[in-house]
Structure 1
Amino acid sequence: MKKAALIVLLSAATALAGPIACSSGKDKSSATYTLGTELGINKAAMDTGVKPGNDFYAYANGNWQKTTEIPADRASTGAFYTAFLETEKRNRELIDSIVKGPVDKGSDQARIANFYKAYIDTKAIDAAGMKPVQADLARFDAIADKTALSKVLGEQVRADVDPLNATDYRTENLFGIFVTQGLATPGEVLPYMLQGGLGLPEREYYLSSDPKMAGIRDDYKAYIAKLLTAAGIADADAKAARVYDLEMKIAKAHATREESEDFTKSATVWARDDFAKKAPGIDWPAFFAAAQLDGASKVAAYHPGAITGLSALVASQPLDTWKDWLTFHQINSHADVLPSAIDNAHFAFYGTRLAGTPQQRSRDKRALAALDTYLGDAVGRAYAEKYFPASAKAEVSDMVDGIKAAFAKRVNTIDWMAPETKKEALKKVETIVVGVGYPETWRDYGSYSVAANSAYANEIAGQKAEYAHQLAKIGKPMDRAEWWMTPQTVNAVNLPVQNALNFPAAILQPPFFNPQADPAYNYGAIGAVIGHEISHSFDNNGAAFDSTGALRNWWTAADLKKFEEAGTALADQFDQYKPFPDLAVNGKLTLGENIADVAGLQAAYDAYRASLGGKEAPVIDGFTGDQRFFIAYAQTWATKTRDAALRQQVATDGHAPGMYRALTVRNLDAWYKAFDVKEGDALYLPPEKRVRVWG
């Protein structure tokens, strides 16, 4: 949930988004959670020999942690992966029926069938060799001057970043584009321009003095040469050296991850004419024309310093170096639809070397994932119609209303907050637009032509179709109901400029939501997810937006100081967690997610207690209602991650590892009472040290 989503580690990592995604990872769990019809929690996963006050994560998940093996084709496993597996199984059934059955020409079903057939036909991909990419490589080779280079750099731009909703800052193109209401332009939808151009996850991989990072850099240089060699590119070693050296310069021009996550410092808006003055080096008229941004009179320069630095590199670095760089990244970013030697080399570096995953996922499963990327709404519509009943939508919607009310009640009772600040906070929570299950309107893929015999062409066309879809929003009123996740996504997201939330159908299933489980379980599991996303509107970044999605300071100075003090205390708390002797969680980097966890869990707990109507929940299988609530929460963060992937997550991700997110309970008084946690227990915090961000 970092900036928009929950996030969990699903492949190399995964996360729930929030503002603001939120989980943390891109791949998450592989354990099988057997849910009872009443208890909900997985007793077999627990290690009740552990004292809850000493290690609550181990108490809730200890046996699971000891016995669960990470699948060979995954970097991690956990509760999110459990839901992902069920969703993947359902998608498998849906796609099989579409591929095998008759489809109408030009329909979304035909696009799905053609895309899938082309993607899994590795024999055809291998037989085609490098032919599909030759036209692109020829474009690069024909670059004769800086104007031509600027044009090509513009042609390469895609809508492949999302700084607000998913904390996704990475693109292999020199710049990435994101389109929504501008941070500094309330009511006006703009294209955002973000830094890009790196093959490693982010700048710290290039600039860190850590010996482990240095080892990755050496392997990356070797990988560039290996990929170019596999592609039949002459003089691969020399070209790889030039590419790496250029990327080192690009990395030095980049903003840091912490700077990227500070929305208040990213609200710069440039008129088109400003680019030539503030970022000389690129032929900006040629760039904008090629990038189809001629119609945008203003651009949100999300990384203004980096834009200036990268433009200067276009002017200062040799054309041949840029051609080599373009060639490598065109191949690298489309390795999955190029010959097996290229695809396998790509996985060996990114999957095994960086994430520690020993085995590539099967081609048919990768095809399902690719469909979610390029035809996600088409697949999602079929998924929602078949697998998400109206009863589930109604029940979850009721929970959302209850948790919103609980959050508002907490705001009302804050004694340190000024009336004017409190009024704005209440208005914000009351006007949140909540989407449950699926969007009310579906994406039109009519302009996306998909062939059954060219996986590479389909991928390129899909990226261009998404880019056109996003550019079409520029200058139009913002759609607050726009969805940024597909129904088949196991995640949730907070959308700060829309003041909206998305809860896709795929997360509204076990182990997060079980209609047969008692309320304690569901409020502790999906209720905490709902609370997390609502709370993202009031985390260290989300609190900078008002109810209309405008970036505006609606706090009094005294209230803001109090809020920031609580954030500092929470960051200090997470700084103490060390998954490795030489590497600790970055409390500042993960602060937004951690604030949302604390406030969201408290709101979910309050809503749960309110749902009981003043009565006490029954004791089930030896556990009180409050105990089941907190155990359910901790079990949703069951996480087992390969060391390489865990190091990458801690170094670059705004989401703390799941085992530490489960310890959010330390800040809730009710947890101490539920498990009789006392002074002297390892997790005990004195009341004055328990962080209460909202209430």
Structure 2
Amino acid sequence: MKHLNFKNILYVPLAALIGCATPPTETKQIPTLSVAQLNQDVKPGENFYAYANTHWMKANPIPDDKSRYGSFDELAENNKEQLKVIFQEASKNNTPGSIAKKIGDFYNSGMDTIAIEEEGLKNLMPILNKIEQIDTSDDLAAAIGYLHTYQLAPFFYYFASADKMNSDMNIANIYQNGLGLPDRDYYLQTDEQSEEIKKEYKNYIVKLLSYAGEDEANAVTYSNKIYDFEYKMADIFYTRLQNRDPHLTYNKIEGNALYSTYADFNWSKYFEGLQQSMPTEINIYQTSYLKNMSKLIGETSLDVVKEYLKLYTLRSMSEYLGSSFVNADFDFYGKVIQGKKSKEPRWKTVQGVVNSGLGEAIGQLYVDKYFPPKAKVRMDALVENIRGGFAKRLKQLDWMSNETKVLAQDKLAAISVKIGYPNQWRDYTSLDIVADSYIQNILNSGSFEFNYEMSKIGKPVDKEVWHMNPQTVNAYYNPSANEIVFPAAILQPPFFYMDGDDAVNYGAIGVVIAHEITHGFDDQGAKYDKKGNLNTWWTEEDTEKFNSRTQRLVDQFNNYVVIDTMHANGEFTLGENIADLGGLNISYTAYLNAISGQEPIAEIGGLTDKQRFFLAYSAIWAQNIREKEIVRRTKTDPHSLGKLRVNGPLPNMQEFYDAFGIDENAEIYIKPDERALIW
């Protein structure tokens, strides 16, 4: 759900309930890499991404309902088909109070488009009326708090997370939010494409306000005023690069200090609307934004602020409303921003929404049906081998002092691992799901999640909690917990082959594992100690050497042109680029350790084991992507584009050159003394 996605700012991201559980179907998972799959018209040293992936890209054009289609997306689509079976079974369940009935009722309510059209804005009116009744700045503060109880977050998010300097305890946090365009840069940049997007955004605002009953003339007037208001908000927003800095965004104060430090906003009324007491302590991620936000609100006509809140609510809820709202939402965010040609089938959209609201309940069914226990066992062994590979590389580093090495080894050893699914499942008993109102289920789900968040504040961190569902095709590193997490859904081809040879598994899921471990030692993760606390544990000299080496990656990626005159952002993507390069080096070392003492590894499909390692890695980043999505991701995504995740890190590895016989005359060749050699 749009209003439940703020969690991704914190983590660096890849008993049966319906009848009797059936064991996962046992099928052989064997990779089919061969010379025949490679593009022989391109030399490996010319463009390795094209050499490895051209045939896949030609065979997998972008579906009209996608802005990008790659290996991740292919697996996610296959996953949706698996989940479809679970949803179909749940849709037929009539056991009162059962979790299956909640899943089924939520899903069926989203599929009942006739009822959604007939309902219109009826169940959203209490929120819209609350906004309309604002007469004073005190009313405004209370109304913002009220909206937050549904996880509708104009101006800022209010949520719980581990205290960065006391990772065993949860603390309240405030984080900037509220723009309608994907990033502040969309407002501030003045190129032709940006100006066209701004024009279309204003038209989108007019549509939403008109559909909600505003006459067209007023809708046009308010569209311009709301846009100007959001432009001023964008101007005081922290950049995405600033938000990557854990020190800049750690500003803990006593809760009562909100009254004096940010005095232009009525916090008493806000917490009254929030129906929560003032927290003992609170972290302000963006201090100057919060101060300037209060001033901006005070300097703006109350009518304009009310219309902004109305628009924010409609915008956040538009994909759950009638067809006019859904179509307007897609026409702007799908077509204009991402370049999609058509909406995805409704069952997929609704399935995704229910997944957001009842994630772990669905995950439990998914694991029962599709996740083989032996996959978890093999992953456990892989993770420990990867950990051993990193330990070996740490020991051999020539640029890090022994003092820092000892602490780095301690942090590596302390990384906890979660594979497949949680040990404890969430309880959804108090989530009220009705059979006849999709929007009411969305609101109830938002309220349920809000109460769940609020229950954590001031309490010890539950180390068993997962921040992704088992059915999610992804993985993450959580710096405050110093943990790596691999949901069940990613443990499938092309990432993980239960019956695959080691070269392929180490090149694919092995690199993913090592990538997540490396996040604990990237430009931001390295600022957290083994307990997950923000703490300086490096010597000053080691930090300088590290920064010097990572700067080579910054410069390398800044030179890549992604489209027209637009370059990749090496600073913004640095953490992920460090993790990609580190992941490759570490997993390669772990692979060599795993085959040490064995007979020479045989070729498969005309490929050596070393070649299979690098080709398996390249395969997981195969993708086709639309131009508008290239622009959006370059502005908003800390991950580099798929092509750059292959052609970027590999030329920094001598082992890559050796595997494919690439010499210094190759187009992608980097001189040894200019390579980024970090982990």
What TM-score results when the alignment is normalised by the length of structure 2?
Answer: 0.94
CA distance in 2 between counterparts of 1:574 and 1:354 reads 24
Give the direction of change, closer, same or farther, for the CA distance of 1:292–1:423 in structure 2 (3 Å limit).
Answer: farther
RMSD between aligned alpha carbons?
A: 1.9
Matched, 1:528 2:520: no
Residues 582-626 of structure 1: per-residue CA shift (max 9 Å, x gap): 101000000000000011111111111111133332111210000
8 Å Cα contact 2:573/2:639 also seen in 1: yes
Give the direction of change, closer, same or farther, for the CA distance of 1:175–1:158 in structure 2 (3 Å limit).
Answer: farther
Alpha-carbon distance, 1:292 to partner: 4.0
Alpha-carbon distance, 1:67 to partner: 4.0
- Which structure 2 residue ranges, 5 or more long, are not aligned? 15-26
Partner of 1:51: 43
Partner of 1:214: 195
CA distance in 1 between counterparts of 2:315 and 2:361 reads 27
Give the direction of change, closer, same or farther, for the CA distance of 1:520–1:19 in structure 2 (3 Å limit).
Answer: farther
Partner of 2:17: none
Matched, 1:693 2:674: no
Matched, 1:97 2:98: no
Alpha-carbon distance, 1:246 to partner: 1.1
CA distance in 2 between counterparts of 1:375 and 1:623 reads 44
The percentage of counterpart residues that share the same residue type is: 35
Alpha-carbon distance, 1:384 to partner: 0.9
Alpha-carbon distance, 1:641 to partner: 0.7
Alpha-carbon distance, 1:485 to partner: 0.3
Which SS does the other structure have where 2:498 is aligned? coil
Partner of 1:656: 640
8 Å Cα contact 1:228/1:236 also seen in 2: yes
Partner of 2:623: 639
Alpha-carbon distance, 1:18 to partner: 11
Question: Counterpart amino acid of 2:84?
Answer: R
CA distance in 2 between counterparts of 1:349 and 1:525 reads 36
CA distance in 2 between counterparts of 1:565 and 1:509 reads 37
Higher mean C-alpha displacement, 232-241 vs 288-297 = 288-297
Partner of 2:133: 142
Among 638, 650, 656, the residue aligned to 1:671: 656
CA distance in 2 between counterparts of 1:549 and 1:241 reads 45
Which SS does the other structure have where 1:334 is aligned? helix
Matched, 1:179 2:193: no
8 Å Cα contact 1:639/1:657 also seen in 2: no
8 Å Cα contact 2:386/2:514 also seen in 1: yes
Give the direction of change, closer, same or farther, for the CA distance of 1:55–1:159 in structure 2 (3 Å limit).
Answer: farther
Give the direction of change, closer, same or farther, for the CA distance of 1:17–1:279 in structure 2 (3 Å limit).
Answer: closer
CA distance in 1 between counterparts of 2:224 and 2:632 reads 24
Q: How does 1:361-510 map to 2 (within 5 A)?
A: 361-510=344-493
Residues 117-145 of structure 1: per-residue CA shift (max 9 Å, x gap): 11111110111122121111110111110
Which SS does the other structure have where 1:265 is aligned? coil
Alpha-carbon distance, 1:289 to partner: 2.8
8 Å Cα contact 1:159/1:176 also seen in 2: no
Higher mean C-alpha displacement, 337-346 vs 470-479 = 470-479
Matched, 1:199 2:180: yes
Alpha-carbon distance, 1:107 to partner: 1.9
Matched, 1:626 2:589: no
CA distance in 2 between counterparts of 1:112 and 1:357 reads 29
CA distance in 2 between counterparts of 1:301 and 1:133 reads 30
Which SS does the other structure have where 2:335 is aligned? helix
8 Å Cα contact 2:153/2:178 also seen in 1: yes
Residues 476-504 of structure 1: per-residue CA shift (max 9 Å, x gap): 21123321000010000000001011100
CA distance in 2 between counterparts of 1:410 and 1:641 reads 35
Alpha-carbon distance, 1:20 to partner: 4.2
Question: Counterpart amino acid of 1:91?
Answer: L
Among 45, 56, 65, the residue aligned to 2:57: 65
Partner of 1:113: 104
8 Å Cα contact 1:19/1:537 also seen in 2: no
Which SS does the other structure have where 1:263 is aligned? coil
Question: Counterpart amino acid of 2:645?
Answer: R
Alpha-carbon distance, 1:185 to partner: 3.6
Higher mean C-alpha displacement, 613-622 vs 662-671 = 613-622
CA distance in 2 between counterparts of 1:18 and 1:342 reads 28
CA distance in 1 between counterparts of 2:603 and 2:28 reads 15
8 Å Cα contact 2:116/2:321 also seen in 1: yes
Question: Counterpart amino acid of 2:111?
Answer: I
Alpha-carbon distance, 1:316 to partner: 1.8
8 Å Cα contact 2:49/2:618 also seen in 1: yes
CA distance in 1 between counterparts of 2:35 and 2:103 reads 41
Which SS does the other structure have where 2:624 is aligned? strand
Question: Counterpart amino acid of 1:556?
Answer: T
Which SS does the other structure have where 1:264 is aligned? coil
Give the direction of change, closer, same or farther, for the CA distance of 1:220–1:661 in structure 2 (3 Å limit).
Answer: same
Partner of 2:564: 581
Alpha-carbon distance, 1:291 to partner: 2.3
Give the direction of change, closer, same or farther, for the CA distance of 1:598–1:430 in structure 2 (3 Å limit).
Answer: same
Question: Counterpart amino acid of 2:671?
Answer: P
Give the direction of change, closer, same or farther, for the CA distance of 1:618–1:630 in structure 2 (3 Å limit).
Answer: same
Residues 208-243 of structure 1: per-residue CA shift (max 9 Å, x gap): 122211111111111100111122223211221221
CA distance in 2 between counterparts of 1:579 and 1:17 reads 24
CA distance in 2 between counterparts of 1:94 and 1:37 reads 23
CA distance in 2 between counterparts of 1:594 and 1:36 reads 33
CA distance in 1 between counterparts of 2:150 and 2:645 reads 31
Higher mean C-alpha displacement, 383-392 vs 478-487 = 478-487
Question: Counterpart amino acid of 1:196?
Answer: N
CA distance in 2 between counterparts of 1:187 and 1:455 reads 38
Alpha-carbon distance, 1:691 to partner: 1.3
Alpha-carbon distance, 1:277 to partner: 2.0
Partner of 1:593: 576
Residues 22-42 of structure 1: per-residue CA shift (max 9 Å, x gap): 35xxxxxxxxxxx99654436
- Which structure 1 residue ranges, 5 or more long, are not aligned? 1-10, 24-34, 161-170
Matched, 1:515 2:498: yes
Question: Counterpart amino acid of 1:130?
Answer: L
Among 69, 73, 88, the residue aligned to 1:77: 69
Which SS does the other structure have where 1:439 is aligned? coil
8 Å Cα contact 2:386/2:510 also seen in 1: yes
Residues 344-381 of structure 1: per-residue CA shift (max 9 Å, x gap): 01110000000000101111111110111111111001
CA distance in 2 between counterparts of 1:430 and 1:71 reads 43
Alpha-carbon distance, 1:111 to partner: 0.9
Alpha-carbon distance, 1:47 to partner: 0.7
Matched, 1:335 2:335: no
8 Å Cα contact 2:150/2:444 also seen in 1: no
CA distance in 2 between counterparts of 1:628 and 1:389 reads 25
Partner of 1:3: none
CA distance in 1 between counterparts of 2:130 and 2:29 reads 60
